[in-house]
Structure 1
């Protein structure tokens, strides 16, 4: 390798290192600006009101999920134990899964699911 090629590689590595240092410093400063602005917005009362609303909505709905899933699992277990043919069991299980899926969708949408 001749001297000019080595000098070019050294300059390239030096340039990359300088670019990395300057870029990461500028990037970090910009990140901090964005983070500060976001936190300032997040802490405003209108945003916090919506956060509380979302939390209340989720807490009210999440309590219905385990009983819906448990009820569906019990029904599927009864189907599996029944004297039906394999095809009938499969069809009934698919129907029950669809019902549970619909009930979970109702819960997520804030509607009452059917009583199981």
Structure 2
């Protein structure tokens, strides 16, 4: 998920900072719109979110167990 966020941030920064003109902006926008609607990307994002949630839950459980034992 962090990689996806980084890529989204990088893309946004590039679009906002680029001096390539409107044509390049439209090209990037078309690619983004196509990618965000791609079921493969949605599946990968969902899997990444599930893994991140599981990792957070695992850390919370470990921290809860460690503080309870002291």
With normalisation by structure 1, the TM-score equals 0.35
TM-superposition CA deviations, 1:12-58 (whole Å, max 9, x none): xxxxxxxxxxxx77424312311221220231111111111111222
Ranges in structure 2 where 5+ consecutive residues have no aligned partner: 1-17
Ranges in structure 1 where 5+ consecutive residues have no aligned partner: 1-23, 77-116
Moved over 2 A (4+): 24-29, 69-76
1: CA distance, partners of 2:33 / 2:63: 38
With normalisation by structure 2, the TM-score equals 0.51
Aligned match of 2:21: 27
CA RMSD of aligned residues (A): 2.7
Q: Tell which has more relative contact order, 1 or 2 (C-alpha 8 A, sep 6+).
A: 2
CA gap 1:26/1:74 in 2 versus in 1, 3 angstroms = same
